[in-house]
Amino acid sequence: MRSLLLPSLVRCVLAVCLASIVVPPAVSQQKKPQQPSKPNVAVLDFDARGGITKEEAASLSDIFQAQLVQMGEFIVVDRNRIKAILQEQGFQQSEACSQVECIVDVGRILKVEKMFAGTIGKVGRIFNVNIQVIDIATAQIVSNKSRQHSGDLEDLATDVIPDIAQEMAQEMTGKDVRARVATSGGSTWYYYVGGVALAGGAAAVLLMGKGGTNPPPANPPQQLPSAPDFP
DSSP secondary structure code for residue 98 in this structure:
-
Contact 146, 130 (CB under 8 A): yes
The Cα 61–Cα 65 span in angstroms is: 6
- The full 3-state SS of 42-94, as one line of letters, equals EECCCEECCCCCHHHHHHHHHHHHHHHHHHCCCEECCHHHHHHHHHHCCCCCH
Question: In 3D, which of 61, 48, 85 has the Cα closest to residue 200?
Answer: 61
Residue 141, amino acid:
I
Name 177's Cβ contacts closer than 8 Å, sequence gap at least 6. Answer: 71, 72, 73, 166, 169, 170
pLDDT of residue 127: 97
pLDDT of residue 71: 92
pLDDT of residue 130: 97
CATH (residue range 40-207): 3.40.50.10070
Tally of CB atoms within 10 A around 139:
14
* One pLDDT digit (tens) per residue for the chain, 231 residues: 445 544 555 465 455 555 555 445 454 455 665 666 899 999 999 999 989 999 999 999 999 999 999 999 999 999 888 888 878 877 655 555 778 888 898 899 899 999 999 999 999 999 999 999 999 999 999 999 999 999 899 999 999 999 999 999 999 988 887 655 444 444 444 433 333 334 344 444 344 334 444 444 444 444 444 444 544
pLDDT of residue 20: 52
Q: What are the sequence ranges of the domains in the chain?
A: 40-207
